[in-house]
A = this chain, B = another copy of it.
Amino acid sequence: MEVKKNPEQLRILENWMREQKPEELFGEEGKLIPELKELAPTGKRRMSANPHANGGVLRRALRLPDFSDYALKVERPGKIEAENVPPLGNFLRDVMKLNKNNFRLFGPDETTSNKLQAVYQASKKFWIAEYFPEDADGGELATDGRVVEMLSEHTMEGMLEGYLLTGRNGFFSSYEAFVHVIDSMFNQHAKWLSICNNLSWRQKVASLNLLITSTVWRQDHNGFTHQDPGFLDVVLNKSAAVTRIYLPPDANCLLSVADHCLRSENYINVIVSDKQLHLQYLDMDAAITHCTKGIGIWDWASNDQGSEPDLVMASAGDIPTQEALAATMLLRHEFPDIKIRFINVVDLFKLQPSTEHPHGLTESDFNSLFTCNKPIIFNFHGYPWLIHRLTYGRKNKTIHVRGYKEKGNINTPMELAINNEIDRYSLAIDGIDRVPRLQAIGGHAKEKFRNAQIACRAYGYKHGIDAPEISGWRWPL
């Protein structure tokens, strides 16, 4: 910078530059001389056309089995529990079998912990160092393994990025709290993708698929350190053209979402789904319809058909959906004439206006789902602010959001839900506070719900687990 102001510095710079003998390199008009210009590669050896640098040129679509073959049998909504991730593990196992040379699974040493271990039936963990006798007992190691593991989220993400950029396909799973380790790498990949969209020569690459599991609401043993759903806030800061966020509420929805993500290009797909036992809501046909829309009224959980609802109860995420459903039933039990509409969101960007995100609902679609003026209670998986951010600018200003508020410890699921006010009782109380008619008559019901919260805490404190009527709750209709 000094050269702009200091003639002596400018003279030193000029002398140095003249030492490079520009008169030998450039012709009369200042153009590179032909002999040097010829050194630049041509055709496919140009950097932009070289498949080593433009991996999309090499990419072939994955051969995918029919994901609906891996469906859980769900006869009626909310009656059985199952782990959400293992069916996806079965699907990924067969994706790996069908794509032996261009599909890999990456993760920070958590493939089994995250319940994706079925993939080991197709291929083991890559390991070319020394083998010990104990490795035979569940080590799942092989020199040609296509599962790549190291307890280092950023190393794994970097390897996956390289794999995608060279024309292959992959899938990454991580504990939710620790996916923050790759925030900076996510940011840079999102920036890179959004620039690629403006480069006509840049062929599309497979999407970066991130499964975020072992989530905030089920850290019964790990506690506060493992409770951090904030990666989604980081994702939202990046371009809408390259970011997608999905919160499938059950196993069949997770399969449908994962299939969609594996087929997509040039996105970063973030899928949030816990690995523990959760209620199952949708059979595969219903799951496909729901996930294809990305957001929808659950007719079976609503009783406002043919009239305006008194209250819209909405949810995104597995545990928040369960609690919102239970709150709906508490209110319907206490106030038999109340009309509640139940909405579940899988594709989070549906909430944003269509002018801000390609997935966003139009104003009229949003208004016919959420109404223009009825109170909305939204029970969210992550930090509550995200929902306000997405729905800012929507006509209905009565949206009340519950989510994680950094109130955690080694808690039972119900204790943690109560601490952060996403539990059925807090939501039912919120409902009474927001439906004008109920404010006048709901005093006794609120009291009952508060008593129930105290009983839940007392049981959890004494037994270390939730009461059977809580952990065993099922949709009663």
Contact = CB atoms under 8 A, between A and B. Distances in A.
Interface of A: 177-178, 180-181, 183-184, 187-188, 191, 194-195, 224-225, 228, 230, 233-234, 236-239, 383, 385, 388-389, 392, 406
28 contacts: A178-B184, A180-B183, A180-B187, A180-B234, A181-B184, A183-B234, A187-B228, A187-B230, A188-B225, A191-B224, A194-B406, A195-B224, A228-B237, A230-B234, A230-B237, A233-B233, A233-B234, A233-B237, A234-B234, A236-B385, A237-B383, A239-B406, A385-B389, A385-B392, A388-B388, A388-B389, A388-B392, A389-B389
A237 B195 contact: no
Nearest to A465: B4
| Number of copies of chain A assembled together | 2
A466 to B, nearest CB: 14
A345 to B, nearest CB: 19
Contacts of A233: 233-234, 237
A39 to B, nearest CB: 26
Contact of A187 (B177, B239, B389, B392): B177
Q: Binding site of A, secondary structure by majority: helix, strand, loop or mixed?
A: helix
A406 B240 CA distance: 10
A394 to B, nearest CB: 13
A237 B228 CA distance: 9
A180 B191 contact: no
Contacts of A188: 225
A389 B177 CA distance: 22
A228 B225 CA distance: 26
Contacts of A184: 177-178, 180-181, 183
A387 to B, nearest CB: 11
Sorted nearest first, the 7 A-B pairs with minimum C-beta distance are A180-B184, A183-B183, A181-B184, A180-B183, A230-B237, A385-B389, A237-B383
Nearest to A195: B224
A406 B237 contact: yes
A386 to B, nearest CB: 9
